[in-house]
Structure 1
Amino acid sequence: MQQDVEQLVEQVAGKLGRGLSLEDLDGMLLAYSSNQSHADRVRVNFLLSKKVPSDVSAWQLSHGIATAVRPVAIPANPELGMLGRVCVPLTVRGFRVGYLWVQQDAEEESPTAILSQLPDVQRDIELLSGLLLESNTVESGFRRGREREFLAACDGDVNATATVAGWREVQHKGPWQAVTALDADGWAGGADPGAATLIHSSAALQSTVGVDAALFSAGAETHSVILFRESVGRASHAQVLVHYQLELAKRSGRPVHRIILGISEPFARPRGLAAAYRQSKVAAQAAAVEPRLGELVDYKSTGVYQVLASAGGAAAWSDSGSVYFQMLEDHDRNGELLPVLELLYDNDGSVQDVAGQLHLHRSSIYNRLGRVRQLLGVDPLKGAVRLELHAAMKARRWDARPRI
C-alpha cells in the first residue's frame, strides 16, 4: 500500500512538473516526489525530519487548511525560509485523510499556475485519497470487522458477545465499563453514514492509543463506543475526551465544541455489555440536554434521567402530562418563570445561588416565585407540586435528547 502511495505521488508530480509532499493529519511525512527544481528550506527540513515544525504548522493552519475542502494558497514566509505553496486537502466523502503540498517555483509570484493545473490531476488526487483511507489504520478491513462485531455485542447479540469475550484485549481484563463518546453539538448523522462512521471510528481509535485503560473502541454514525477497564478515577477518561475532541475536529474539518463521555456502571461478566452500553448512552444523552452534569458523566449521577430512560420509547415524554407545568408554559411567554423555578429545584431552593447564576437580585427571584404562586394557586416549592414540576421539566429536556 505504501509503495502504491509513493508511486502515485511521483505520478502526480510528473504530470504537474512540480515537487510534491504528502503528510498525514498530524504533520508527519508520508511520501514525497523526487523531482524539484528548487526546494526551499522548509521543504528540505521536512524531508529530513519527516515532521512539520511547529512554527511552520502554525503558519499553515492560520490560513484555514484544517477546515478547507478546496485547495488553499499559502503565501511565502521569508522568516521561515518558505516559498509560497498550495495545500490540497485530501478527503473521502467528507472524511479528512491528509494533505498534498505543491510548492511554487522561486520565480513564481502567485499560485495561479498551480491552481489551474490541479483539475488535470483530480482523478489521481481522488485515488490517492482512497489509498490513504485504506492505509489510515493497520489492517483496516480486519479492524472494521471487529468493530462491527463489538457493536453487535453492545446491541445484545449473544454470539458476538461470546466472541468479544475471547479477544485478547478483553479476556481477563474485567470488570469493565462501557463509555459512549458523543459530540453534543454535531451528533446528528450526515448525508453519508459511512463517512460519519469512519470519522468517529478513527477519532476513537486515535484518542485511545497509549491509554492502557481503554481496551477497544468502535465508531457508529453518531457516536463512538469505548470499552474501558473499570477504574475509580477519571484521568484516563479525561485524556481520551481531550484527544477525541481534537481528532474529531481534525477529521471532520469543523469545530467541535463539546464532547461528552457517558460512563456506565462497572460490569464483571461479558453478558453485561449490552446493559452497560445502554447506560453509557443514557448518561451521554442526559449530559447533552443537562449541561450542568458536565462532560465526564457517570450513569448513576444522571438522577431522574435514569427513570425517564427506562420508562418508555422515544415519544414517551413528548408531553409531560402535568397540568401545572402546562399552565406555567402557556403563561411564561418571555421565559422568566420556568428557568428560575428549575434552577431553584436544582440548587436545593437556594435563592442566593440562583440569583448569582442568573445575575439577578434576590428580590427579582422572589418576585418571580410570587408570580408562579399566584398563577398556580399553590406553593411550587412544596411537596408533591415541586416533585411534579421538577419531573415535568426534566421530561421536557429528555425529549430533546440526541437520538443515538
Structure 2
Amino acid sequence: MQQQDVEQLVERVARKLGRGLSLEDLDGLLLAYSSNQSHADRVRVNFLLSKRVPADVSAWQLSHGIATAVRPVVVPANPDLGMLGRVCVPLMVRGFRVGYLWVQQDSAEENPTAILTQLPDVGHELELLSGLLLESNTAESEFRRSREREFLAACSGEANAVAAVAGWKEIQGRGPWQVVTVLDADGWAGSSDPIASTLIHRSAALQATVGVDAALFSAGTETHSVVLFQESVGRANHAQVLVHYQLELAKRSGRPVDRIILGISEGFAKPRELGEAYRQSKQAAQAAAVDPQLGELVDSRATGIYQLLATAGGGAGAWADTASVYFRMLEEHDRNGELIPVLELLCDNDGSVQDVAGKLHLHRSSIYNRLGRIRQLLGVDPLKGMARLELHAALKMRRWAARPRI
C-alpha cells in the first residue's frame, strides 16, 4: 500500500463530499484523514492526536453493528463521549473487510440523510481505496502469493517445491519443524466465492502469527490455513495463534467464529517429510472437528483410531456405511438417539457409568437401563471383548465419515 495514494484518495473523497473524513483499519488504528473539516468534535480531535480509537468510543461504534455490516451504518451522536453523529462506510473487497471510512455530520445537521445521499457519488473512489487497503491487510503482493503457492505445493509433496522451501532463510537452521492445520470447525466450507474464502484465511493466518517467533510461515486455502512451526514441547505459542486467528477470522469475515482447531503434526527434521507432516496435521484437525472431546489443540498422535481410518484409503464416501452387523442393528432401533451416545461415552470412558452419567447429566440408573437395552437388543455384552472393539470402531467410523473435506 502506498500511503501517499491512500491520503490523496481520502482528500479527494473529502472534497467531493465537502466533509471531514477519517480512515481506520480493523483494529481502530488511524490510517489517514482529511484536512478539511468545518467542525471537529472531541472524538475526532482525540483520534487524530492519539491515532487510535479509545475503548469507550469503539464500544459505542461496535454496538451499532459496524463489525458485520456490508453497507453504510449510521452511528448516532453520543453527548457523553463528545461525539457528533457519523456514518461508517465498511470498505470491502470480494466480501473481505479491509477497513472503515468515517464521515462526520456537521454540528447543524439533525440526521445523516445528506451523507447517505452523497455516498453513491464517490463509489469509484471507495473501490480504489479498498483495493489499496487490501495490500496492507493481507500482504497481497505477488511475491507473497507466489511464496504461499510454493509452500502449499511443498505440503502436497512436490519435490521441486520442497527443495525451494528448504532453502528459504526463515526455514534454514530452524528445524526440527511441525506443520499445523488451522480449521474453523463450523465454517470450514467457506462461502460461495472461493477466492474470497482463500483471501480471508490467508490474511487471518498472517495476522495471527505476527510476533510469534516459532511460527515460521503461513498460507491460506479456501477451507483452512497451514502454518509451519518450529517444533516445541509446549503449546503456548499454538494457543496464542488459536486465539488471534479466531479474532482475526471473525473480524474479516463479519460472522461469529465459535471453534477454531489446530491440528498439530509430529516433529520432523528433514524437509522431504513436510508432505507427511501436513497429512498428519490435517487429519488431526478433521478428527477434532467431528469428535469435540479431542479438544482444540490436537496432536496427531492423540487422535487414536482416526489415524487408522485416515490411512485406510477409500473415496469421499468411505466409512459412510459400516459393515458391522451389531452397529446396524443398534442404529436401526435407536430412533430417539438414546442408546448410541451412551454406548460411545461408555467406550470412551473405560465403561465408567458414573463418568458417563455426569457428562450426560443423568442418574446412573438411567445409564444402566440403556446399557441393558443395548445388551438385550444385540444379545452380547457391548462392553466386552470383540463386540466392544467392533462397536467402538464403528462409532468412530461414523464420525470420521462426517469429517470436513479439506
TM-score, reference length from structure 1: 0.99
- Residues 30-109 of structure 1 aligned to structure 2 (within 5 Å): 30-109=31-110
Give 1:188's aligned residue. 189
Distance 1:352 1:376, change over 3 A: same
Cα deviation digits, residues 206-257 of structure 1 (max 9, x gap): 1111111110000111100000000000000000000000000011111100
- Residues 4-43 of structure 1 aligned to structure 2 (within 5 Å): 4-43=5-44
What is the identity, as a one-letter code, of the residue corresponding to 2:304?
G
Distance 1:15 1:291 in 2: 54
Cα deviation digits, residues 53-97 of structure 1 (max 9, x gap): 111111111111111111110011111111010001111111110
Distance 2:364 2:331 in 1: 23
Secondary structure of 1:191's match? Answer: coil
Distance 2:140 2:68 in 1: 28
Give 2:135's aligned residue. 134
What is the identity, as a one-letter code, of the residue corresponding to 2:88?
C
Deviation at 1:134, TM superposition (A): 2.4
Question: Are the counterparts in 1 of residues 320 and 401 from structure 2 also a CA contact under 8 Å?
Answer: yes
Secondary structure of 1:136's match? Answer: helix
Distance 2:42 2:158 in 1: 57
Question: Are the counterparts in 1 of residues 184 and 259 from structure 2 also a CA contact under 8 Å?
Answer: yes
Deviation at 1:166, TM superposition (A): 0.6
Identity of aligned residues (%): 82
Question: Are the counterparts in 1 of residues 202 and 219 from structure 2 also a CA contact under 8 Å?
Answer: yes
Deviation at 1:140, TM superposition (A): 2.2
Distance 2:112 2:371 in 1: 65
Give 2:359's aligned residue. 357
Deviates more, 1:381-390 or 1:119-128: 119-128
Distance 1:353 1:298 in 2: 24
Give 1:111's aligned residue. 112
What is the identity, as a one-letter code, of the residue corresponding to 2:385?
G
Give 1:331's aligned residue. 333
- Residues 164-203 of structure 1 aligned to structure 2 (within 5 Å): 164-203=165-204
TM-score, reference length from structure 2: 0.98
Deviates more, 1:380-389 or 1:313-322: 313-322
What is the identity, as a one-letter code, of the residue corresponding to 2:345?
L
Give 1:343's aligned residue. 345
Cα deviation digits, residues 184-225 of structure 1 (max 9, x gap): 000003111111111111111111111111100001111000
Distance 1:227 1:202 in 2: 15
Distance 1:364 1:190 in 2: 43
Deviation at 1:137, TM superposition (A): 4.2
Deviation at 1:135, TM superposition (A): 3.1
Give 2:253's aligned residue. 252
Give 2:389's aligned residue. 387
1:299 and 2:297 matched: no
Secondary structure of 2:338's match? Answer: coil
1:227 and 2:228 matched: yes
Distance 1:339 1:22 in 2: 52
What is the identity, as a one-letter code, of the residue corresponding to 2:386?
A
Distance 1:256 1:293, change over 3 A: same
What is the identity, as a one-letter code, of the residue corresponding to 1:205?
L
Question: Are the counterparts in 1 of residues 43 and 81 from structure 2 also a CA contact under 8 Å?
Answer: yes
Question: Are the counterparts in 1 of residues 155 and 275 from structure 2 also a CA contact under 8 Å?
Answer: yes
Q: Which stretches in structure 1 are left out of the alignment for 5+ residues?
A: none
Cα deviation digits, residues 265-319 of structure 1 (max 9, x gap): 0000000100000000000000000000000000000000000000013222111
Deviation at 1:361, TM superposition (A): 0.7
Distance 2:268 2:402 in 1: 29
Distance 2:129 2:311 in 1: 48
Q: Which stretches in structure 2 are left out of the alignment for 5+ residues?
A: none
Deviation at 1:123, TM superposition (A): 1.8
What is the identity, as a one-letter code, of the residue corresponding to 1:359?
H
What is the identity, as a one-letter code, of the residue corresponding to 1:318?
A
Distance 2:140 2:355 in 1: 54
Backbone CA RMSD of aligned residues: 0.9
What is the identity, as a one-letter code, of the residue corresponding to 2:188?
W
Distance 1:190 1:402 in 2: 15
Give 1:125's aligned residue. 126
Distance 1:117 1:139, change over 3 A: closer
Secondary structure of 1:63's match? Answer: coil
Give 1:264's aligned residue. 265
Deviation at 1:136, TM superposition (A): 2.5
Deviation at 1:48, TM superposition (A): 1.1
Secondary structure of 2:233's match? Answer: coil
Aligned residues: 404
What is the identity, as a one-letter code, of the residue corresponding to 1:70?
R
Deviation at 1:128, TM superposition (A): 1.1
